[in-house]
């Protein structure tokens, strides 16, 4: 079942990516003779605006924040390939298994062709860190890459498939590769507030950083084998335009291990944006992450046993928190 789902997701992602390319080429040829008309979404309390586009690609500036809307909200559905880019840099502080101050960068690219939307997100953070468990100072490099493709079925419901890769040194995760597919629904759709929720089935492969524990007095820690498991993946997103210059965003996800009900992880991210110009914002964000998996349970069991005969034995933290401040560019 895992192999079937893996190749099905890869096939579906490839199909969803390649299918609009033919359409783009066709539209580009047609655009030589016919103008493209874009209509703003029919959002309550806002009058639709119509503008002409002569290019096969557009940032959709006349559509408002289209990346927060279901494509079927627009009538007619815009023909150009819509593109939205966000990039941010933040300085962060983090507590948990690591005491950390560092730098983090995030890049998001959202593309839309018709009723198909691609959402690519990449985050990288580098920091000089002291590990709480063994007191060793080191440099950490955490990375996260996720691609989600959604196909709008109705104005409130979309079909989505995706894949993600993660490296999280503070939780001793060398690699986590995940594939998932499911449905995403619009829960609240108003001019200033949007809420989405999704539920997906998938599976993940985990590789752990055993060698990062097996140092000094913990050198006899027995390695934990790589772990693969089926998952239920729940995602919830919220965007609230408090004023014309202040907005609040919230992202939450919960991953439940179907093979072992004791294992799960969740993450909550809160962000407050203050718009300085049309494209530049100051942001502050707070993130909480909890990870309960085979590795950190094995480490804690090992530490508890070792504590019976030795002093100065640390603990394995399952929760990390971080507070960040920085600048975001959006266009």
pLDDT single digits (tens) 267-312: 999 999 999 998 999 999 999 999 999 999 999 999 999 888 888 7
The pLDDT tens digits of the residues spanning 41-87 come to 344 333 244 344 457 888 888 888 899 899 999 988 988 999 999 99
Which of 118, 121, 120 is closest to 104 using CA atoms?
121
Q: Give the model's pLDDT for residue 94.
A: 65
Report helix, strand or coil for 220: coil
User: Which candidate, 148, 319, 174, places its Cα nearest to that of 233?
Assistant: 148
Question: Cα separation of 201 and 257, whole Å?
Answer: 10
Cβ proximity of 143 and 128 under 8 Å: no
Which residues, other chains included, contact 13 with Cβ-Cβ below 8 Å and sequence gap of 6+?
Answer: 147, 149, 161, 162, 163
Residue 58's contacts (CB-CB under 8 Å, 6 or more residues apart) are: 38, 78, 80, 81, 82, 83
Pairing between β-strand 227-241 and β-strand 246-257 as defined by DSSP bridges: antiparallel
Comparing C-alpha atoms, which of 247, 222, 230 is closest to residue 306? 222
Angle at 197 between CA 243 and CA 261, to 5 degrees: 135
30: CB partners within 8 A, 6+ apart: none
The conformational region for residue 119 under phi > 0 = left, psi -120 to 50 = alpha, else beta, is beta
* Helix (H) or strand (E) run with residue 225 in it: none
Is the pLDDT at 238 greater than 90? The verdict is yes
Tokens linked to 63: 């559509």
pLDDT-derived band at 166, boundaries 50, 70, 90: very high
Could you give the CA distance from residue 289 to residue 58 in angstroms, rounded to a whole number?
36
Kindly report the number of other CB atoms within 10 A of residue 231's CB atom.
Answer: 21
Cβ atoms of 327 and 280 within 8 Å: the answer is yes
pLDDT of residue 39 exceeding 70, the answer is no
Task: Give the separation between CA 225 and CA 252, rounded to whole angstroms.
Answer: 29
- Position 102 confidence tier, pLDDT thresholds 50, 70, 90: confident
C-alpha 17, offset from chain centre: 19
- Regarding predicted confidence, which is higher, 165 or 141? 165
Distance CA 25, CA 41 (A): 25
Beta bridge partners of 176: 166, 206
| Cα separation, 111 vs 232, whole angstroms | 26
pLDDT digits (tens, 9 = 90+) for 242-264: 999 999 999 999 999 999 999 99
Q: What pLDDT score does 135 carry?
A: 61
Q: Which two tokens stand for residue 322?
A: 């971080």
Q: Which fold has domain 79-330?
A: Porin (2.40.160)
Residue 229 β-bridge partners: 204
Domain boundaries, the chain: 79-330
Q: How far apart are CA 52 and CA 327, in angstroms?
A: 32
- Contacts with 52 (C-beta within 8 Å, 6 or more apart), sequence order: 35, 36, 37, 38
CA distance 41 to 77: 9
């Amino acid at each position: 079942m895992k192999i079937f789902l893996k190749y099905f997701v890869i096939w579906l992602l490839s199909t969803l990516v390649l299918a609009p390319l033919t359409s783009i080429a066709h539209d580009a040829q047609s655009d030589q003779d016919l103008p493209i008309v874009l209509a703003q979404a029919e959002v309550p309390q806002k009058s639709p605006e119509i503008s002409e586009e002569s290019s096969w690609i557009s940032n959709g500036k006349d559509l408002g924040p289209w990346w927060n809307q279901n494509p079927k909200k627009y009538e007619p559905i815009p023909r150009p390939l819509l593109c939205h880019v966000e990039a941010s840099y933040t300085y962060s502080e983090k507590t948990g298994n690591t005491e950390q101050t560092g730098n983090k960068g995030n890049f998001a690219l959202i593309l839309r062709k018709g009723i198909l939307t691609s959402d690519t997100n990449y985050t990288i953070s580098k920091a000089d860190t002291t590990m709480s468990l063994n007191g060793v100072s080191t440099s950490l490099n955490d990375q996260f890459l996720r691609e989600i493709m959604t196909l709008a079925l109705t104005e409130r419901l979309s079909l989505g498939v995706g894949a993600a890769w993660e490296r999280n040194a503070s939780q001793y995760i060398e690699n986590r590769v995940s594939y998932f597919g499911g449905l995403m629904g619009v829960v609240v759709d108003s001019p200033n507030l949007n809420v989405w929720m999704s539920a997906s089935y998938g599976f993940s492969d985990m590789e752990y950083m055993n060698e990062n524990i097996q140092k000094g007095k913990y050198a006899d820690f027995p390695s934990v084998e790589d772990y693969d498991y089926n998952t239920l993946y729940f995602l919830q997103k919220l965007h609230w335009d408090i004023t014309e210059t202040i907005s609040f965003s919230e992202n939450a996800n919960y991953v439940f291990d179907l093979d072992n009900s004791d294992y799960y992880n969740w993450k909550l991210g809160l962000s407050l944006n203050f718009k300085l110009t049309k494209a530049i914002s100051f942001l502050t964000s707070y993130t909480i992450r909890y990870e309960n998996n085979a590795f950190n349970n094995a480490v804690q069991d090992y530490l508890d046993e070792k504590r019976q005969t030795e002093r100065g034995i640390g603990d394995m933290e399952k929760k990390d928190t971080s507070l960040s401040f920085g600048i975001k560019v959006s266009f």
